[in-house]
Amino acid sequence: MKLSANPIKRGYLYLEEWFNLSFGKEWNPLYHLGPLTFFFFWIALISGLYLYIFFNTTVDQAHASLEAIVHGHVLGIGSLMRSLHRYASDAAIITIMLHVFREFSLDRYRGTRWYSWFTGIPTLWMVVLLGITGYWMVWDELALYVSMGASHLLDALPIFSDSMARNFLPGNLSDRFSTLLAFLHLLGQPMFLIFMLWFHVRRLTHVEVTAPKGLAIGCLIALTALSIYMPALSHPPVNLSKVPTEIHLDWFYLNIFPLLQYWSPGEIWLLVAGVTTFMLFMPWLPKKNEGIPAIVDLEHCNGCAQCVVDCPFDAISLQARTDGAKWENEVIVQPELCAACGICTGSCPSSSPFRKMTEDGSLKTGIDMPELPLDKFKQQTDDALAKLAGDNRIIVFGCGHGYDIDAFSAPNVATVHLFCTGMMPASLAEYALKNGADGVVVSGCRSGDCYYRFGNHWLDLRIQGKRMPAIRSRVDKERIKILGGAEIDGKKLHKQLDLFRQSLVQKTATPSVTTAKEVNHD
């Protein structure tokens, strides 16, 4: 098949596959970067609370109290907690940056997803500021280096009348300032960060905040081992009359400060503002044109709200009925939030190819996609079934963001393209088996990595009978194969298709799906 022209995407897909082989799909950390970030935040919070219980925030005692925690607590618990606090904070930055790179590489930051990207950039900066104030609190030589650098940067802004750097001259530094830092780091910034994280995910549904247990335990063990092998240590205490000669930076949080040796504060602010502005407006460079939003047909909608539950982007909501029908509620689509994935069509109980046609000879459903309505892809299915010839005839339904299913084409293999496999009603598989196909293959994105977040997962559950609208129990599910792969996974997918074809050969010639009368799902 023709591969994407984007080398960054291909490179990332190979990296993701390597992680799949190393960790397994369930524990692949690249599939759980958001939950892992939350997990690292929890470690930093718990370890930070432990440290704060014994920490003295005054200027004269801050460094000594931290050293007493690190070296004086039984069984090295203090040292472990301090190191976990440091390394979990670094790990959070790593997962955040990987998350940013992943969304960019897979083109999941434009279109309706601009909001999550746009709100994520200032959230990243808030995490960085939180780390900087944490290093500032220790009041060692690194803290002095950070405070002086930050003061020069702040002095370049036209919002302070006096020089901030004067606060760090001998005799000028007060406990009030250190108390303010403690308040910012322990309460003010974390509370604001929580608000920003909520804002970041508010347009998403079913947000995953808990990492798989095995992955979380593995990360905790790794951080603990690192903390024991290479414990985080403080620099010598501050001596305002002496310039530090050796500084060990945490490059995840403090990478901008060395630039002060070569650039002016104004130039650094220009760099920060430029990079931030560029990243904020990346979703429109260029703008992604998505499909036409879903439309609701109240004549065929009973207000069951399954599409509301299944929508990955919170684009569908429920309201009181407006057409005087017997049903209590109806669904409405917010066009500006709709990603035009079609998952709502697959969620609608009315989306069944077995329904009776309307008077104009078309197949209607409660919520549909104007560019590829249910009636159209049922017709495409009929056309594909009519082309099948030979033995072991297979029809393949494929996602537009996974492997190109046209590469499967053969006299006994026909293909039907969908926006997302989640838009396919589970009953369509039964329909295909009853109308000439010996097997049905659904080829979507990689398992656990749907372009539209949950499309392949919802369909998989419908096929298993675990999510409504589910496939009927009479259907021989051994004749249905769910595949998942990216554009680079052709060899693996073709092998799986061959194995599925061999399983069909071994089955008896007796049809597994009994003939049934057409049913009306109204």
Q: Please state, rounded to an integer, the average pLDDT across all residues of the chain.
A: 91
Contact 382, 468 (CB under 8 A): no
CA distance 304 to 299: 13
Residue 171: what pLDDT? 53
pTM as predicted = 0.91
Contact 283, 118 (CB under 8 A): yes
Q: In this model, does residue 164 exceed pLDDT 90?
A: no
The pLDDT of 219-230, averaged and rounded, is 97
Q: What are 103-119's pLDDT values in tens digits?
A: 999 999 999 999 999 99
Q: From 429, 507, 443, select the one nearest 472 (Cα to Cα).
A: 429
Q: What are 437-478's pLDDT values in tens digits?
A: 999 999 999 988 999 999 999 999 999 999 999 999 999 999
Q: Which residues of 47-85 are buried (b: 16+ CB within 10 A; e: fewer)?
A: bbebbeeebbbebeebbebbbebbeebeeeebbbbbbbb
Contacts of 196 (CB under 8 A, 6+ apart): 119, 122, 123, 126
Which stretch of DSSP H or E encloses residue 295? strand 295-296
Quick one: pLDDT band at residue 510, thresholds 50, 70, 90?
Answer: low
Neighbouring CB atoms inside 10 A of 498's CB total 10
The pLDDT of 198-206, averaged and rounded, is 94
Q: What percent of the chain has pLDDT over 70?
A: 93
Domains of the chain, earliest start first = 9-16+23-280 (1.20.810.10), 295-506 (no CATH)
Neighbouring CB atoms inside 10 A of 266's CB total 11
Q: What are 489-501's pLDDT values in tens digits?
A: 999 999 999 999 9
Q: In this model, does residue 161 exceed pLDDT 70?
A: no
CA distance 457 to 174: 57
Residue 165: what pLDDT? 59
Residue 511: what pLDDT? 53
Residue 158: what pLDDT? 81
Q: What are 399-437's pLDDT values in tens digits?
A: 999 999 999 999 999 999 999 999 999 999 999 999 999
Residue 460: what pLDDT? 96
